[in-house]
Homo-oligomer: A and B are copies of this chain.
Amino acid sequence: MINRKKHVIKMAHQLFIEKGFQATSIQDILDYSGISKGTFYNYFSSKTELLIELFKTLFSEMEEKRNALLSEGDPSNIDIFINQLELQLKINEENKINALFEEVHFSNDNELKEFIKKRQITNLYWLYKRFIDLFGKDKKPYLLDCAIMFIGILQHLVKYYNLTYQPNYHRVVKYSVERIKLIIGEISTNGVQLIQPEMFQLFSIDGALHIPNYQQQIMRIIAEIKESVPVSNKVNELLDFIHDEISYSKKPRKYLIASAVSSLREEKEVNIHFVEKLTEVIEKI
């Protein structure tokens, strides 16, 4: 029964893709996934919260795959970067993430709006960091501007390219990268800056963003635990809490996480080996 919640999210995702988020009623989701209303509200407090959970899983998967492309590779290798972008665009399309994203801008739900905003900033930060990898630390002052422009260029070109031709992400990404390379060269020669990278501090995710090491490690361990054995409700809840706290809190509450881990230790289904690794990593937060 532990996968029921995931199953509901999956079914809802399908409905959202087919009919759109708005047009899918909760009753539709109940019918399609074969649960009762009570169960639904036991899992989620609203349709919006279901959507947020859907986004979280999709983004986690995407980030994992994206980072896997780079692991052990050379961060300054631009072909890897291009592969990462292509991958993201493809996953986006497969899951209609963009469509959902757009559909969702409407919401009066502040939690959702904040979630999406943070997501965009985090994504921008990733790009900024990758640009530093690719083009060198000396160009730092200009690379935020460039990252912003690059997102704009890429998104708009993809949109109109796909309106006109069959999608060809490789071509569009390469084209976009060529343009931004030119701009980076010119801007850093002339020393023109528009927005200061200190901007990230405004969103107080700067801290969290600077130490993605432990975050990635923890997320990997959690994934391993879940794959190793079907876990109980309780374990699942604990793992999800840790995952979310790590991923979406400005400052993850270290002691709360430690407490969750020690509860995990009690559960025999979880290999003690994993718990040790978790404890170890969490101490470094």
Contact partner, A151, options B156, B175, B202, Cβ 8 Å: B156
The size class of the interface chain A forms with chain B is 35 or more
State whether B161 touches A195 (Cβ < 8 A): yes
**CB of A284 to closest CB in B, whole Å:** 31
Question: Can you list, as one digit per residue, whether each of A97-140 has a CB less than 8 Å from chain B (1) or not (0)?
Answer: 00000111111100000000000000010000000000000000
Interfacial chain B residues near A157, Cβ < 8 Å: 145, 148-149, 152, 194-195
Closest B residue by C-beta to A200:
B164
Q: How far is the CB of A41 from chain B (nearest CB, A)?
A: 22
Interface positions of A from 154 to 178, Cβ below 8 Å from B: 154-157, 160-161, 163-165, 171-172, 175, 178
Residue of A149, A172, A195 ringed by the most chain B CB atoms within 10 A: A149
B19, B172, B202: which contacts A164 (Cβ < 8 A)?
A: B202
How far is the CB of A204 from the nearest CB of chain B, in Å? 13
A2 at the interface (CB under 8 A from B): no
Specify the main secondary structure of chain A where it touches its partner. helix
The answer to whether the Cβ of A211 comes within 8 Å of any Cβ in the partner chain is no
In Å, the complex CA distance between A172 and B194 comes to: 8
A145 surroundings in chain B (CB, below 8 A): 157
Q: Which residues between 165 and 199 of chain A lie within 8 Å of chain B, taking CB atoms?
A: 165, 171-172, 175, 178-179, 182-183, 186-187, 192, 194-196, 199
Measured between alpha carbons, how far is A171 from B192 in the docked complex, in Å?
12
Q: What are 11 sample pairs from A and B whose C-beta atoms fall under 8 A apart? A: A23-B108, A102-B102, A102-B105, A149-B156, A149-B157, A152-B156, A157-B195, A164-B196, A175-B192, A179-B183, A182-B183
